[in-house]
Structure 1
């Protein structure tokens, strides 16, 4: 069985978290990661360009760039005695922000996956798994959680209901899209096609246990500046996704073929070519009322090609860490008051808006 450190470093989001924390602790590491990540980025010179400003018109001085081995040595020698909750949360947020399942991993993710850097990040991972600030990463779903509505206080909305109808419609659309993609898209995974890349249904009640942390841990965020936090109470049969095996078993129990519709996007993000499945969430709702992805489970498993059977794999994509998806009608808005949060455009931190 893998240790907690090995699990954390087995996932691209876990490795990126450790690399981001190392950059937070040392400016030389940040500069080295910037240059090495740029050179390893699949879009170098095209979608990602390095620009320099030199008002004097003279050639800028050449600054020595560290090698991968030199960067690894810097990371291994880091003093991690003063890790704060703020540093860890910022590194976690950056890891979530940089997740992408519709194109190749960026240069920093490629760098973190090299043997030398992954090995050096063991030093960071060891400090994280033992830190009091990270123990909530293993926390199971709580009875009292919060749903986030990315609208302002002046535009209130009720929580979505009738999940059975929503899941039936989702399943119908997924199967129709798979048939259409099989007819219209090439089998070559390198072909320039993109489409659905999520592993989860949308429109259901999604909740998080911690606010304001959950406001910042959003994959593919649209940069919202206002949010309504709705208190939710829910109980029932809740499946915990704490490791890759939990997700794999869910896919084995309720497989839904998505090879044609996910082939191109998931090849780019994982490098794997083959059959793909995700859970049939409509069928999963016959056994489970909700499914919760722990932060630790997200960091170790999201974005990886996880083998389901010999020729078939799956990916956790588009699911925010620490969130719960409610599959049946057992979650309700509680009697606690709603909260309204704002994040000024010039700041990273969310602020609770006073009411009354």
Structure 2
């Protein structure tokens, strides 16, 4: 595999994007993934159940299920010459929608991570090279971006300010939570405990470069159907996170211990037991004004256990692709008109409101 293809398939979200795209292209692949993914899902038969009924309400005899070898063959034989931007965007949205860092991955993620299926997905990954839908995946943070407020235009709110205070409060709460978790939670990572799982600070201005794409590429979405997007301008010392080393270098420079508070959630999502750290964002602000996670970085790195040291790792969790977090007060609303977008109920496509 070429290096960029290998990088994409190293990441849980990159593999899931390729698998989702293959399902978009072929119904037989979708059916095979449905059955094989169900069989691999940790919640099969409990939190995830398979029900089949025929038109008269009776359970039909089970359909023959594809094997891993048959699915891999279907994927490698796909004709991918007609991939459209819309298909790639929908697969990307599904890859983001299905990210979860507080429990085990879905069966489809386990399926995509098997050697046989990962190798077959190289055919899909290679087909993405040079496609218009992917040309922005390595794009660095732009001076002009958009902040998203998940409220209607009838509820105007100024952008948050004073990031130094926000970061000081964030790190204080993180340290207090770590101390409390160390006292109250068991060290067994399999214990049924959950808590903080994000690796990002809350309450800061965070922006995206592309609208409406940024409205759909949201992890752990609450199903918003309205959004006000605010044009902003910002510049300064911006750290680009595109590779594993970009993140681990940041963690080594400004480590914040989160083992007790993240142990149980991140064990479930990575199957790793050990010490965990994330960046101390308050300290990082002394060196960087903002940090941007590129699409390539997201697809190849998010959700993995990333080795920071011999016995220490970290996870990028809860950070949407192509999102910039502003650590210092260097970003302002640009003065251009705000826009109001809405999404009809139970639909995927966002629409710009009239006059918005």
Shared fold per TM-score greater than 0.5: yes
Secondary structure in structure 2 of the residue aligned to 1:136: coil
Matched with 1:289 is 289
Matched with 2:167 is 167
Instruction: Quickly say closer, same or farther: Cα 1:2–1:256, change in 2 above 3 A.
Output: farther
Matched with 2:82 is 82
Contact 1:257 / 1:277 at 8 angstroms: preserved in 2? Answer: yes
Where in structure 1 do 4 or more consecutive aligned residues deviate above 4 Å?
none
Asked whether 1:273 is paired with 2:251, we answer no
Offset, 1:64 = 1.5
Matched with 1:3 is 3
Matched with 1:93 is 93
Matched with 1:136 is 136
Q: Deviations over 1:83-131 (max 9, x none)?
A: 1000000000000000000000000000000010000000001111332
Instruction: Quickly say closer, same or farther: Cα 1:156–1:59, change in 2 above 3 A.
Output: closer
Aligned 1:225-264 pairs, distance under 5 A: 225-264=225-264
Offset, 1:335 = 1.3
How many residue pairs were aligned?
A: 356
Contact 1:232 / 1:334 at 8 angstroms: preserved in 2? Answer: yes
Matched with 1:157 is 157
Whole-angstrom CA distance in 1 between matches of 2:243 and 2:49: 37
Secondary structure in structure 2 of the residue aligned to 1:309: coil
Q: Which runs of 5+ in 1 are unaligned?
A: none
Matched with 1:122 is 122
Aligned 1:17-32 pairs, distance under 5 A: 17-32=17-32
Contact 1:288 / 1:327 at 8 angstroms: preserved in 2? Answer: yes
Contact 2:53 / 2:59 at 8 angstroms: preserved in 1? Answer: no
- Could you say what the CA RMSD is over the residues aligned between the two structures, in angstroms? 1.2
Instruction: Quickly say closer, same or farther: Cα 1:238–1:59, change in 2 above 3 A.
Output: closer
TM-score (norm 2): 0.98
Offset, 1:65 = 1.1
Offset, 1:57 = 5.1
Contact 1:4 / 1:129 at 8 angstroms: preserved in 2? Answer: no
Offset, 1:347 = 1.6
Q: Deviations over 1:145-170 (max 9, x none)?
A: 00000001111100000000000000
Q: Deviations over 1:191-231 (max 9, x none)?
A: 00000000000110000000000000000000000000000
Offset, 1:15 = 0.2
TM-score (norm 1): 0.98
